[in-house]
Structure 1
Amino acid sequence: MTSLVTEPDVRQAIKNHIYHSVSDTMMLRGEGVYLYDADGRSYIDCAAATFNLSLGYGHPAVIKAIKDQAERLIHITSSFQSEPINELVAKLVELSPKNLTKVHLKVSGGSEANEGAIKMAQVATGKRDVITMFRSHLGQSMMMASLSGNAFRKEPFPLIYPGGVHVPDPYCHRCFYKQQRDTCGLLCVERIEDFVEYASSGQVAAVVVEPISGNGGNIVPPDGYFQALRQFCDDHDIVLIFDEIQTGIGRTGRLFAAEHFGVEPDAITVAKGLGGAGAQVAGILTNDRLAGLAGHHHSFTYGSNLLAAAAANATLDIVSRPEFLANVRATGDHILARLRDLRRRFPQIGDIRGVGLMIGFELETADGEPDVALTNHLAKAAMKHGLIMRTSRYGFGNVLKIRPALTLTMAEADLICDRLEETFQEELA
């Protein structure tokens, strides 16, 4: 199978998907990795809502923490200290890379966290430009949409935030430079020098990078990439910011993907999974150099919310357990192994990549080109088999993603793969 519809139809279908993206399905309740609709059907949510339910639906420890806190105090201005916020700061400093000693919690979501980290870098360095990846997704605010990759994200807007410099992703399967990893010399880092010299203002404050791309297609950088990028930033006095809004809080089988890749960034942004079962919480973890941005430059009314902090504390207590993280790695490895077995029987499956429970795989035509139409078709068809799946690049990409709650059991991992195989057999045979 190569394509299900013609190219113009693909473009129109994608636009319909983007602008009319609310399903007719009414969901009523959830438990663990399962979501239940109004007709009584159950689904395994392979997207953990919006990749944010690290502990799944309705986790009792998170619910109890929120209820207990609600009986004492729901919200105060962040100008005052509070027990849940102080506890969360202490836990994040303890669990993060050793060079990160400060935490800014006066943000409510990932977009605000990324924007705040960039502001900190600009103030600390006295420079302005921001380097990001072609396929990056840093958030939905105007600054973050502007600095993210993908032209379609910016297309409707007459004015975008200036100073963004976009460079190729470390995407070995479809290398921008047409190289092979064993001989490339990591051109994806080396050639950033040219972008700085010819495409920037000459005043680059920060590189913002997702350790594994979220919306961009689950791209896992090759060994040595982040060490080379760290050295590049050090050589040019550029702040290295890890957007760990999707990769952080256990998603890769480590508390932070920085630990998996063996590098210390200057800042890490967190959100999504920090809330455990849906609490809205975010933060910016920084080294000493970036600390000290005045509150009037970046603070939000519902940042440092006490209910959210209580949920985050309960989440970190669970996710930080060695046995919990070991299970994330084991179930992720099991899913990857089963996907590789499926690829032997279904040639439409292309590159398979992932770390822990951040997994993606490409759908390709017979000549190896991205098959966007098939990817969107399979994501829709999977619902009939009890799977909720997301695609890459808001429907413009050819990657199906598997990122369930981190509480996933081995039996549930097998059930995901069984249902995926059933989908393939029905749609691709």
Structure 2
Amino acid sequence: MDTKEVTDHLYYPVSERKMERGEGVYLYDEDGRRFLDCASATFNLSLGYSHPVVIAAMKDQLDKVVHMTSSYQSDPINGLVQRLVETSPSGLTKVHPKVSGGSAANEGAIKMAQLATGKSDVITLFRSHVGQTMMMTSMSGNAFRREPFPNLFPGSLQVPDPYCFRCFYGQKKETCGMMCVDRLEDFVDYASSGRVAAVLIEPISGNGGNIVPPDGYMQKLRAFCDEQGIALIFDEIQTGIGRTGHMFAAQYFGVEPDAITTAKGLGGSGAQVAAILTNERLAGLPANHHSFTYGSNLLAAAAANATLDIVRQPEFLAHVTRTGAAIMERLRDMQTRYQPIVDVRGVGLMIGFEIAEPDGKPAVKLTNHLAAKAMDHGLILRTSRYGYGNVLKIRPPLILTMDQAEEICDKLENLFLAELAR
């Protein structure tokens, strides 16, 4: 088959551009053109394309055994459990590695919370994206994600995000007293079944627009969950494994949840690996209730161990903070010169900037246009909410150098000069 025939048979649409190889933060097409990937593929290449240490670890494991039943111990899984316990908040001492993706990890954490609390409902946020399974689609925000499916999983309710720039309650963060947490009691009393098992939250929204909660939000949310007997689960599929300049965003915010889910960046250069970390409170779910054939995969665990050994180093995490701060500084300068940039927000190398019309309304069409045209400038950008949103996201591999951070910003300048001067 030629390329056109193959794309005709693919179930989903793809770009006409054919990519050939990746190296570090760059992806190369078949014509040799280089693109700096600000999306880290699907936000999962924490160490970029083909990191030599990760590849070497996988090659070494290939010569031993690729996969076996998780009923037996193995060095890769033992090592993964040890490293995750060592690098997570101190109370999270249980590791469930028998999942192979973020959706399954989140679903498993919910099952654990339901079993531990004896309750059923789950609270998520309006703009949340907590997975692609039917259960996780049902519990995510955004009506357009649920609209095609007639049989949604019951027992979830969505509440307003801590989105200070476009506050649902029309408040200012300096004076609102954290209304987005205070009103949760009303949602529990009037919108739930009265049996809320968990709050599942992305510490910084991934697909939802890179919303960073204000200072004190997480502490107040933790206190609310404790008062209500609700488990607090952090979906760190995107924020975890160094993305915020900390191993987990929970450490950045200074709050310990009852569980953390991790995937994406855990594989370093693309290995499919995930895990659920919990405290003793959520321990006890029998393995037969949440166990997947390709969970605890040895090849993926070898990649994860190599990744964790690199990312956990203090100097590596400090560098993520520095490069992220440099990009934020340049973006804030651009905000003063380009009217469509109305807000810049982020932590570490999890950055987003919001594009708006002159009247302040979200400029969705312009956002998608800029992302598409970025390719002409050698830059890969992703937008929020599957193209329904107005935030451009910058989440390059964590190995980004300071020169490459400047390269991103220079390319963005060229993009805005070319597209907004018309």
Query: Which bin holds the TM-score, normalised by the shorter protein?
Result: over 0.9
Q: Deviations over 1:317-336 (max 9, x none)?
A: 00001110011000000000
State the secondary structure of the residue aligned to 2:63: helix
1:79 Cα deviation (Å)? 1.0
Question: Does 1:102 pair with 2:97?
Answer: no
Alignment of 1:7-406 (within 5 A): 21-406=13-398
Question: Does 1:407 pair with 2:389?
Answer: no
Question: Matches of 2:51 and 2:283 in 1, distance apart?
Answer: 34
Q: Deviations over 1:354-392 (max 9, x none)?
A: 000000000000011100000000000000000000000
Question: Matches of 2:224 and 2:214 in 1, distance apart?
Answer: 16
Using structure 2 for the length normalisation, give the TM-score. 0.97
Identity of aligned residues (%): 72
Letter in 1 for 2:262: V
Letter in 1 for 2:151: L
1:23 Cα deviation (Å)? 1.1
Question: Matches of 1:263 and 1:376 in 2, distance apart?
Answer: 35
Q: Deviations over 1:45-104 (max 9, x none)?
A: 000000000000000000000000110111001111111001100110011000100000
Whether the aligned pair in 1 keeps the contact of 2:121 and 2:193 (CA below 8 Å) is yes
CA-atom RMSD in angstroms: 0.7
The counterpart of 1:426, out of the listed 395, 418, 422, is 418
Letter in 1 for 2:14: V
Question: Matches of 2:308 and 2:144 in 1, distance apart?
Answer: 36
1:289 Cα deviation (Å)? 1.3
1:345 Cα deviation (Å)? 1.1
Q: Deviations over 1:82-138 (max 9, x none)?
A: 110011001100110001000000000000000000000000000000000000000
Question: Matches of 2:82 and 2:33 in 1, distance apart?
Answer: 42
Whether the aligned pair in 1 keeps the contact of 2:43 and 2:395 (CA below 8 Å) is yes
Whether the aligned pair in 1 keeps the contact of 2:335 and 2:343 (CA below 8 Å) is no
Letter in 1 for 2:267: G
1:343 Cα deviation (Å)? 1.0
State the secondary structure of the residue aligned to 1:72: coil
Q: In the alignment, which residue of structure 1 is the partner of 2:8?
A: none
State the secondary structure of the residue aligned to 1:54: coil
Using structure 1 for the length normalisation, give the TM-score. 0.95
Letter in 2 for 1:28: E
4+ runs deviating over 2 angstroms? none
Q: Deviations over 1:170-222 (max 9, x none)?
A: 00000000000111010000001000000000000000000000000000000
Letter in 1 for 2:297: N
Question: Matches of 2:85 and 2:331 in 1, distance apart?
Answer: 36
1:20 Cα deviation (Å)? 5.6
Question: Matches of 1:22 and 1:79 in 2, distance apart?
Answer: 39
State the secondary structure of the residue aligned to 1:413: helix
1:21 Cα deviation (Å)? 4.4
Whether the aligned pair in 1 keeps the contact of 2:202 and 2:235 (CA below 8 Å) is yes
Letter in 2 for 1:269: T
State the secondary structure of the residue aligned to 2:403: helix
Q: How many residues align?
A: 411
Letter in 1 for 2:79: E
Q: 1:181 to 1:21 in 2, by over 3 A?
A: farther
Question: Matches of 2:32 and 2:56 in 1, distance apart?
Answer: 27
Q: In the alignment, which residue of structure 2 is the partner of 1:15?
A: none
Question: Matches of 1:182 and 1:155 in 2, distance apart?
Answer: 36
Whether the aligned pair in 1 keeps the contact of 2:198 and 2:232 (CA below 8 Å) is yes
